[in-house]
Structure 1
């Protein structure tokens, strides 16, 4: 088995991963923030 086989994770009674989806953070918000920060980094590097 590998990490890719994990579908559910519980730690200290809290479900962290359900059906392969992270339950503890807003993935869309993380992606949006990462994209805007990456764009700002590229601008600074130019």
Structure 2
């Protein structure tokens, strides 16, 4: 839900999603896979 509510257009939003991914024990690949499936920019390069 958080990802769908965020435009990911500033550092604070990216930091929030990074912290959320960590709290959910997601690695960078898993987080980027979720972003890809939802059609939003990847969080990690």
- Largest Rg, 1 or 2: 1
Shorter-chain TM-score range: 0.3 to 0.5
Higher normalized contact order (CA 8 Å, seq sep 6+, divided by chain length): 2
- Select the structure that is richer in strand: 1
- TM-score between the two structures when normalised by the length of structure 2: 0.35
- TM-score between the two structures when normalised by the length of structure 1: 0.34
- Select the structure that is richer in helix: 2
